[in-house]
Amino acid sequence: MCKSLLILSKYYKNPIKKLGIKLVLNKINSFNQSKKYISNKLKKNNINITDDVNNYDKYLFLLKKNNINLWETIKLLFNSIYPKHVLSNVHDSIINNNVLEIENNKIGIFCYILIINNKINQKFLHNYI
């Protein structure tokens, strides 16, 4: 979904809206607010990151190093930056032998928003996978 949205953004000003998806970002946290949110969530799961983190790409790297999967990492980053977002009308995706992947499109939209708002680097994200 993320890659598709990036391609569509070359042709449409707002590809999310063009697809009939409703996304409202009511509040945007500063990096320090996000950092505090992420630290609290990680402490609840007994994960302690002691490295000095100065950007979201560093969080991607450190969470991967701590065996947190990409889906959980993206959700954590997105919710820390946009805590009061509203996302609706996102259809489930079907891949590989008709297996329903409920979160894939949602995570793809989150990745797209993080990339276009310069929160994470597209190349860094690609290397994560």
Q: What is the pLDDT of residue 119?
A: 94
- Count of structural domains within the chain: 1
Q: CA nearest 15: which of 30, 2, 34?
A: 2
Round the average pLDDT of the chain to a whole number and report it.
87
Q: What is the pLDDT of residue 99?
A: 60
CA-CA distances (angstroms) from residue 94 to 2, 25, 28, 69, 113? 15, 27, 31, 20, 22
Q: Does 97 fall in a domain?
A: yes
- The dihedral region occupied by 125, where left means phi > 0, alpha psi between -120 and 50, and beta the remainder, is alpha
Q: Does 37 fall in a domain?
A: yes
Q: Does 75 fall in a domain?
A: yes
CA-CA distances (angstroms) from residue 66 to 43, 73, 86, 93, 95? 13, 11, 29, 28, 27
Q: Does 99 fall in a domain?
A: yes
Q: What is the pLDDT of residue 98?
A: 62
Angstrom distance (rounded) from CA 112 to CA 104:
12
Q: Does 48 fall in a domain?
A: no
What range defines the domain where residue 15 resides?
2-43+53-128
Angstrom distance (rounded) from CA 31 to CA 47:
20
Report pLDDT digits (tens) over 54-102.
Answer: 999 998 888 888 888 888 999 999 999 999 999 999 887 766 666 667 7
Q: Does 31 fall in a domain?
A: yes
Q: Does 6 fall in a domain?
A: yes
Tokens of 1: 């979904």
Report pLDDT digits (tens) over 22-58.
Answer: 999 989 999 999 999 999 999 888 888 767 889 999 9
